[in-house]
């Protein structure tokens, strides 16, 4: 199994940390992982994206042209990455702020109202965990228990009290993802 | 099994320095390697092992701090990125001349000049053909994963002390910034002052009564003495050439063609090998690990066995390709492909270049 993912959105949406938690979850179940961010003079509000690869084998290139899954969280990223999904692949997006919806017919497109669900839950910061939940519903490449283990590893101890909230957010994401 | 962590390449390098029993790190921040000193400052190795971490006032200061630390037999290290490494070249030449062991990591970015902060491999010439002035060579290790950013640190220190020479670790922005799973090796002890005195009779550890003064210098105004010193250095470099060539062969057994690459380009080429083989092209990868000493003999062997062509894949306009050409001596096709200025070639572009430049060319 090799899953090649691009996660793209605005800086501050938790794009990079979503990728990091996914990568840590992979390590928890003894898989190979790589996490390659776009880095540069970017800042909050600018675009941010990260390539995450989870595999049973040694990972070759950490940067890619085509992906099994694209998780898209703003219009700029939609414009850039819709075309990069491999035929038969998956595009997951949050319609919030998207003016031009994806139109490809050779891939499966899923929607998650991540921003709305997070706001309803009273904490917009868990937006990325809702989206992660939606992704794991579509492609259960890592087990939920390993995501929780990954969270424990990647969060400083003082934030561990927030882990149940993150778990709820993932569950909400899993329940609310829909195919378009 | 050692501790498993998800780390950036730069962080793995820093943690490995602590675990390798380094006595000191001296550096100055520059993107894309600033996480090295950030990690060390946050991790406080001065509390963990007694290792000194110091932000120098400039790269010129940090490289000269290595002269002092390494000269007294301590395991010392610095890191920087391309423009900072250029500033250090005078010091590196002095370290090579004075035979002072130390480790220098270069997380390469786009150049020339201030360039940009994205990954590049355009410092190959600077790393393996000198950089500073004078007749010297530097052993140069090129990690291609976060795991190797960790593993190569103790290897580099071993080489530095075995041969009394500065050793380069040459990564790039991609290897420095990406995160991967890394298995950390166990903490190695730092040498005590007494152990340093016993182990390194050349080190400037203080002049005991009745013993000769030890001087580590690259200055010798007597040309005959300096000629002897150069010949001695040359003999040492030949020994390194004999013993320290490192490389990895990937899918080369049935290969008609070979990619030759190091660092992140080697990772990209592994994907290109898969893509090309899906198209029926039998291509393998010679991954260069030690940029110097270079795997010339391996290339000669493949040439003699009738390989149909080599494509050097580097994020430069073509530097390592010259060493491949030297080894091949015109006996088969050699060409270069690479994106530059911080642009990273895609695995598909590399296959296309093989088809156009080597197979069709």
Q: What is the pLDDT of residue B212?
A: 86
Beta pairing, strands A178-179 & B76-80? unpaired
Which residues have a Cβ under 8 Å from the Cβ of A24 and sit 6 or more positions away?
A: A33, A149, A150, A151, A153, A154, B6
Interface confidence: ipTM more than 0.90: yes
Confidence label for A41 from pLDDT (cuts 50, 70 and 90): low
| Residues in A touching B272 (Cβ below 8 Å) | 61
Rounded Cα distance between A10 and A22, Å, is 18
Rounded Cα distance between B240 and B162, Å, is 10
User: Structure tokens of B257?
Assistant: 């063609």
Q: Which of A60, A86, A146 to mutate to test the interface with B (most CBs of B within 10 A)?
A: A60
Range of lowest pLDDT (A43-47, A151-155, B152-156): A43-47
Q: What is the pLDDT of residue A43?
A: 59
Rounded Cα distance between B148 and B182, Å, is 9
Give domain limits for chain B.
3-193, 248-359
Of A36, A59, A65, the CB nearest to B348: A65
Chain B residues within 8 angstroms (CB to CB) of chain A: 4, 6, 32, 117-118, 173-174, 177-181, 264, 267-268, 270-274, 344, 346-348
| Residues in B touching A153 (Cβ below 8 Å) | 6
In chain B, which residue's Cα lies nearest the Cα of A21? Answer: B6
- In this prediction, the residues of chain B whose per-residue pLDDT falls under 70 are none
Contact call for B179 and A35, based on CB within 8 A: yes
Specify burial of residue B231 (Cβ count, 10 A radius: 0-12, 13-18, 19+): exposed
Which residues have a Cβ under 8 Å from the Cβ of A155 and sit 6 or more positions away?
A: A162, A163
Q: Which of B181, B182, B287 to mutate to test the interface with A (most CBs of A within 10 A)?
A: B181
| Residues in B touching A43 (Cβ below 8 Å) | none
Q: What is the pLDDT of residue A45?
A: 67
Contact call for B174 and A59, based on CB within 8 A: no
Q: Measure A178 CA to nearest chain B CA, in Å.
A: 31
Contact call for B178 and A65, based on CB within 8 A: no
Residue A39 in this model has a pLDDT that exceeds 80: no
| Residues in B touching A40 (Cβ below 8 Å) | 117-118
Rounded Cα distance between A72 and A59, Å, is 23
Beta pairing, strands B102-108 & B140-141? unpaired
User: Structure tokens of A58?
Assistant: 């040694």
The CB density around residue B296, as the number of other CB atoms within 10 Å, is 15
Does the domain spanning B3-193 belong to CATH 3.30.70.20? no
Q: Is B271 helix (H, G, I), strand (E, B) or coil?
A: helix
Determine the length of chain B: 361
Nearest to B328 by CA among B336, B340, B316: B336
Of A35, A41, A60, the CB nearest to B178: A35
Q: Please name each of the domains of chain A with its CATH number.
A: 2-179 (3.40.920.10)
Contact call for A36 and B177, based on CB within 8 A: yes
In chain B, which residue's Cα lies nearest the Cα of A25? Answer: B6
**CA-CA-CA-CA torsion for A43, A49, A51, A52, nearest 10 degrees?**
80
| Residues in B touching A24 (Cβ below 8 Å) | 6
Which residues have a Cβ under 8 Å from the Cβ of B204 and sit 6 or more positions away?
A: B71, B72, B73, B214, B215, B216
Contact call for A60 and B180, based on CB within 8 A: no
In CATH terms, are B3-193 and B248-359 the same topology?
A: yes
Rounded Cα distance between B199 and B174, Å, is 38
Confidence label for A11 from pLDDT (cuts 50, 70 and 90): confident
| Residues in B touching A5 (Cβ below 8 Å) | none
| Residues in A touching B181 (Cβ below 8 Å) | 23, 26-27, 32-33
In chain B, which residue's Cα lies nearest the Cα of A40? Answer: B117
Which residues have a Cβ under 8 Å from the Cβ of B305 and sit 6 or more positions away?
A: none
Q: What is the pLDDT of residue B208?
A: 81
Distances (CA, A) of B6 to A35, A56, A111, A112, B146: 9, 16, 30, 28, 9
Q: Which of B144, B178, B266 to mutate to test the interface with A (most CBs of A within 10 A)?
A: B178
| Residues in B touching A41 (Cβ below 8 Å) | 117
Of B4, B117, B178, the CB nearest to A36: B178
What's the CATH number for B248-359? 3.40.50.920
């Amino acid at each position: 199994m090799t899953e090649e993912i691009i996660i793209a959105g605005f800086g501050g949406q938790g794009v990079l940390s979503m990728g990091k938690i996914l990568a840590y979850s992979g390590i928890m179940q003894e898989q190979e992982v790589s996490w390659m961010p776009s880095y540069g003079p970017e800042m909050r509000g600018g675009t941010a994206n990260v390539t995450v690869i989870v595999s049973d084998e040694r990972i070759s290139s950490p940067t890619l042209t085509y992906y099994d899954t694209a998780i898209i969280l703003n219009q700029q990223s939609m414009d850039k990455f819709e075309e990069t999904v491999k035929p038969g692949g998956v595009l997951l997006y949050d319609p919030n702020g998207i003016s031009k919806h994806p139109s490809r017919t050779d891939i499966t497109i899923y929607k998650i109202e991540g921003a709305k669900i997070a706001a309803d839950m009273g904490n917009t910061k868990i937006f990325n965990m809702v989206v992660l939940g939606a992704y794991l519903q579509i492609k259960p490449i890592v087990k939920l228990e390993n995501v929780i283990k990954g969270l424990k590893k990647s969060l400083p101890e003082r934030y561990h009290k927030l882990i149940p909230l993150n778990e709820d957010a993932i569950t909400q994401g899993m329940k609310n993802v829909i195919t378009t | 099994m050692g501790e498993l962590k998800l780390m950036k390449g730069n962080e793995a390098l820093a943690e490995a320095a602590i675990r390798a029993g380094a006595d000191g790190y001296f550096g100055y921040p520059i993107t894309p390697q600033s996480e090295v000193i950030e990690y060390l400052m946050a991790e406080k190795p001065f509390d963990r092992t007694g290792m000194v971490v110091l932000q120098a006032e400039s790269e010129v200061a940090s490289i000269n701090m290595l002269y002092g630390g390494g000269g007294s037999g301590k395991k010392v290290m610095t890191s920087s990125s391309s423009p900072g490494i250029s500033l250090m070249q005078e010091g590196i030449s002095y370290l090579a001349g004075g035979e002072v062991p130390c480790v220098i990591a270069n997380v390469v970015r786009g150049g020339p000049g201030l360039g940009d902060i994205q990954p590049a491999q355009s410092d190959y010439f600077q790393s393996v053909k000198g950089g500073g002035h004078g007749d010297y060579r530097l052993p140069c290790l090129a990690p291609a994963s976060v795991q190797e950013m960790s593993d190569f640190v103790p290897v580099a220190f071993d080489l530095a002390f075995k041969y009394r020479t500065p050793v380069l670790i040459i990564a790039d922005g991609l290897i420095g910034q990406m995160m991967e799973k890394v298995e950390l090796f166990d903490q190695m002890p730092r040498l005590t002052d007494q152990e340093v005195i016993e182990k390194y009779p050349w080190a400037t550890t203080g002049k005991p009564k009745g013993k000769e003064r030890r001087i580590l210098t690259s200055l010798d105004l007597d040309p005959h003495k300096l000629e002897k010193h150069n010949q001695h250095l040359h003999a040492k470099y030949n020994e390194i050439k004999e013993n320290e060539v490192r490389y990895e062969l990937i899918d080369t057994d049935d290969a008609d063609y070979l990619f030759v690459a190091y660092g992140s380009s080697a990772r990209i080429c592994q994907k290109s090998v898969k893509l090309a083989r899906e198209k029926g092209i039998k291509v393998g990868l010679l991954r260069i690990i030690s940029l110097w000493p270079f795997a010339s003999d391996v290339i000669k062997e493949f040439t003699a066995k009738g390989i149909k062509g080599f494509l050097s894949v580097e994020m430069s306009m073509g530097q390592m390709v010259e060493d491949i050409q030297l080894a091949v001596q015109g006996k088969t096709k050699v060409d270069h492909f690479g994106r530059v200025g911080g642009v990273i070639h895609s695995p598909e572009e590399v296959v296309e270049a093989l088809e156009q430049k080597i197979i069709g060319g």
